[in-house]
Structure 1
Amino acid sequence: MADQAKIPVVVNGAAGKMGREVVKAVSQAEDMELVGAVDRNPNVVGEDVGIIAGCGELEVPLLNDLQSVLVLATQQEIQGVMVDFTHPNSVYENVRSAIAYGVRPVIGTTGLTDDQLKDLTEFAEKASTGALVVPNFSIGMVLLQQAALQAAQYFENVEIIELHHNQKADAPSGTAIKTAQMLAELGKTYNPPQVEEKEHLAGARGSVSEENINIHSVRLPGLLAHQEVLFGAPGQLYTLRHDTSDRASFMPGVLLAVRKVTELRTLIYGLEKIL
């Protein structure tokens, strides 16, 4: 990289479980430079983010002010990138702030509403700034979704089960919602009613997406990130499942997104759009 400037990267939510993995991955990438780290946890503010992430001293202190760190990213030779793994309650404002500063956001935080995504897309286009919103950075999950699209051509009945650790704040997961949306784009009507259902406990059948696909959410300690897509037909059940056992599995997708977002001039939703 001697003859080419490295991509300046800011990690927001750097002390979290995913944030620490991103810090390690970015610091080890030859074409990237970690220039800032943000986290609201008062117990770690001021500490070296490399020590927090377990990858050794990086001389990058953890700060709790996103605005000041975004300014650091604008003072680099080339346009910076913000990787955000924070909380659904703050992600919308984080993305708007990054775009306003001319820093390209790569968003792994789920929970953005359709209206927020529409607003951020318009904001990014006006600013000619690339942005990536990725519900799941796993290449394996992208392959599962592609297999689901193939299966949906032959099955009318499908349900989704997503299972995550019990510290995940939103449900259903962004990945499950995205999978249902992708199936809907085929223009099919799913799960034609066979009987008049009655729930004796509210939510027993899960949530129902606009695509008429039931999505069931499980939250338990011991889980990380898992998803099943079940297709049923008379006499057969076709199950697609993806399991994550280590957050390191998401890092190739994160690094790919950091590289690809520098080429964009608008907001793109989904990792499959850049593969």
Structure 2
Amino acid sequence: MKVGIIGFGKTGRAVASVLLESKRTKLQWVVRQSKLLEHRSVPEFLGVSSDEPGLIYSKDEYSASELFDRYPVDVVIDFSSETGLDYYGVVAAERGITIVSAVSQYPDEKIKQLQYLSQQTCVLHSPNITIGINFLIITAKILKNIAPYTDIEVIEEHFKDKPEVSGTAKVIARELDLPEENIKSVRAGGIIGVHEILFGFPYQTVRLKHESITREAFGNGILFAIDNLQGKPKGFYSMEDLLLPFFKLDAL
């Protein structure tokens, strides 16, 4: 499956390395805002042995139409910013190219734009596309349904210089109908990302915890999303939509 990546920051680079090592995908290109690294080979830049083209382009070099004509893809993966969608969204949807957006904090109008595009193609949006975080959220919802009387707190830990509350923690709070005041933040050292949900029962506690060891975890989530979107009808999907079928255990 041919893929293209929008955005080449730290996470985009980690995802690119995972895609290059996968036998299921072929990285056609990366598009970034800056002209820095223009026409560099992604495999060469990342030090990954690969015969895939994976060249880097700035968004000013080609329009989205020109890019898709010259270097066709089946899936566009977006790790850029809230404005990245304006570059490729309409053209990708018109061509039936699957859109996987992992932009963490979209304003409401961008979510509506994605939902509109999903009338023409498959669109998935996940603020944190790691399998572990999305599994964590579903499991927490199930436990809350089982025991709605519990006290629930969300704890997020990140590197020392991260100024704002984690977007993923805000998503967790929202999904569990908790106020953001229930989020406790820890900043220390070079922690990449730890999210924990604490359930306080009268006589026991349950802690659900996810830790990102490296950003390549996002690449694993992308591969899962691409695999499980295949054959799906056009529409707007979340990681929860793709994961829920796996929660149906066979009866003993």
* Counterpart amino acid of residue 38 in structure 1: V
Q: CA deviation at 1:10?
A: 0.4
More displaced stretch, 228-237 vs 90-99: 90-99
Asked if the contact 2:160–2:188 (Cα under 8 Å) also holds between the matched residues in 1, the reply is yes
1:154-169 aligned within 5 A: 154=147, 155-165=149-159
Measured against aligned partners, the alpha-carbon deviations of 1:133-189 in whole angstroms (never above 9, x if no partner) come to 12223222233223312331323321212223467686441x3233233323xxxxx
Equivalent residue for 2:140?
A: 148
SS at match of 1:110: coil
Work out whether 1:274 is the aligned partner of 2:242: yes
Measured against aligned partners, the alpha-carbon deviations of 1:43-82 in whole angstroms (never above 9, x if no partner) come to 32221111222214643321111754664435667x6211
Q: Distance in 1 between matches of 2:95 and 2:164?
A: 28
Asked if the contact 1:163–1:227 (Cα under 8 Å) also holds between the matched residues in 2, the reply is yes
Aligned-CA RMSD value? 2.9
1:61-100 aligned within 5 A: 61-65=55-59, 68=63, 71-74=66-69, 80-87=74-81, 89-94=82-87, 96-97=89-90, 98-100=92-94
User: Judging changes above 3 Å, is the alpha-carbon distance between structure 1 residues 84 and 182 closer, same or farther for their aligned structure 2 residues?
Assistant: same
More displaced stretch, 90-99 vs 35-44: 90-99
Equivalent residue for 1:196?
A: none
Give unmatched runs, 5+ long, in structure 1: 1-6, 185-189, 191-207
User: Structure 2 length normalisation: TM-score?
Assistant: 0.78
Match 1:249 to one of 193, 217, 237: 217
1:1-275 aligned within 5 A: 7-14=1-8, 16-56=9-49, 58-65=52-59, 68=63, 71-74=66-69, 80-87=74-81, 89-94=82-87, 96-97=89-90, 98-100=92-94, 102-125=96-119, 128-152=120-144, 153-154=146-147, 155-165=149-159, 171-173=165-167, 175-184=168-177, 208-209=179-180, 214-234=182-202, 236-262=204-230, 263-269=232-238, 271-275=239-243
Q: CA deviation at 1:83?
A: 0.8
User: Judging changes above 3 Å, is the alpha-carbon distance between structure 1 residues 103 and 171 closer, same or farther for their aligned structure 2 residues?
Assistant: farther
Asked if the contact 1:35–1:73 (Cα under 8 Å) also holds between the matched residues in 2, the reply is no
* Counterpart amino acid of residue 106 in structure 1: V
User: Structure 1 length normalisation: TM-score?
Assistant: 0.73
Q: How many residues align?
A: 237
Q: CA deviation at 1:222?
A: 0.5
Q: Distance in 1 between matches of 2:36 and 2:57?
A: 11
Q: Distance in 2 between matches of 1:164 and 1:258?
A: 28
Q: CA deviation at 1:274?
A: 1.0
